[in-house]
Amino acid sequence: MYAIAFPTIDPVLVEFGPVAIRWYALAYVAGLILGWRLAMQLAARPDSPLSRDDADAFLAWATLGVLLGGRLGYVLFYRPGYFLENPAEIPQVWTGGMSFHGGLLGVIIAALLFCRARGLSRLAFGDMLGAVAPVGLFFGRIANFVNGELWGRPGDVPWAMVFPRADDQPRHPSQLYEALLEGLVLFIVVQVLIRRFNALERPGLVMGTFIAGYGAARFIVEYFRQWDAGLEPLFGLLSRGQQLSLPMILIGLYFVWQATRQSGGARS
C-alpha cells in the first residue's frame, strides 16, 4: 500500500533562547487578525447594524474567549483525567490541545458580556462572529496538521499519510478535511448569504448557518478522524465530537428558522 509521507515540518518556527515561536500559535494569531479585519469590513456595510468601533473593540475579548474556552474545553471534554494528574500542563496551549466547542463557548460568553456592556443586539453580533469564525477554523486546522495531531483513521485513499506521532499506518489527513469543510466551504457559504442575499438584514441567519454548518461538517469528518483515546463512542457509534456537534446542528437550525420567519431589523 502506497502512502504519502507526512511532511517534515518543525512545529517551532524560530527560537530565541528559552522563547519559541510556534506555527500553532501563529495560526491562532493569523485567524484572529484576519477575522478582525473581515469584521471591520462587514461592519462598514450599509446593512450592518454594528459599527467598526464595535468590531475593533471586540478583538481582545475574542482572543481571551478563544484561548481560555478552547483550552478549558479540551481539558474538560477530552482529557480530564490526564490534566487532573498534570495540572501544570493546563496553561501550555502552545503544545497543542484546543477544543473548538470549548472555544465557541468561550467566545459566546465573551460576546454576551460585550453586548451587555455596549448595549448591542446579541443576534446581530452573533451574525458578525458567524461570518468571521471560519477564518479562524481554517488556520486552526492547518495548525493541527503542522503539529501532526488529531490525525485520521487508517485508510487506503491515494492521499493517505503516515503520521509519525500515530503509527506506521496510512491514515486520512482529517485535519485537512476539517480545514476544507469547516473553514473554506463554510466561509464561502456565509459570505454568499451576506453579499448575495443580504443575510445581515435577518438577525440570527448567519449565526445559525454557521453553527449548524460547523456541526454538520464536524459530524461528517468524525467518520474519518481517529476517535479520541480513552473516550468510548456513544452506543458504539457516536464519537465525542459527534455528540457535541448534534446539539449545534439543532440549535443552528432553530436560529435559521427563526430568522427566516421574521422581517429585517436587529433584535436581541
Per-residue pLDDT of the chain (268 residues; tens, 9 = 90+): 567 888 877 777 777 766 667 777 788 788 889 999 999 999 998 888 889 999 899 989 988 988 888 888 888 877 788 888 888 888 876 666 777 778 878 888 999 999 999 999 999 999 999 999 999 899 989 988 988 888 999 999 999 999 988 888 999 999 999 999 999 999 999 999 999 999 999 999 999 999 999 999 999 999 999 987 766 677 777 998 899 899 999 999 999 999 998 754 445 5
Distance CA 240, CA 247 (A): 12
Residue 88 to residues 24, 43, 82, 92, Cα–Cα distance (Å)? 20, 40, 11, 8
Residues facing residue 171 across a β-bridge: 154, 161
pLDDT at 117: 93
Residue 13, classed as helix, strand or coil, is strand
The four Cα atoms 108, 111, 117, 121 give a dihedral, to 10 degrees, of -100
Distance CA 77, CA 109 (A): 18
CA diameter of the chain: 60
Report the predicted TM-score, pTM, of the whole model to 2 decimal places: 0.83
Burial class (CB in 10 A: 0-12, 13-18, 19+), 135: buried
pLDDT at 20: 64
Long-range Cβ pairs for the range 87-94 (8 Å, 24+)? 93/25, 93/67, 94/20, 94/22, 94/24, 94/25
Cell of 204: 440570527
pLDDT at 242: 92
pLDDT at 48: 87
Distance CA 154, CA 225 (A): 9
DSSP 8-state secondary structure symbol assigned to residue 184: I
Other C-beta atoms lying within 10 Å of the C-beta of residue 47 = 11
**Closest to 102 (Cα-Cα) out of 149, 135, 132, 140:** 140
Nearby residues of 225 by Cβ (< 8 Å), 6 or more positions away: 150, 151, 152, 153, 172, 174, 177, 178, 239, 241
Strands (E), 121-251: 161-162, 170-171
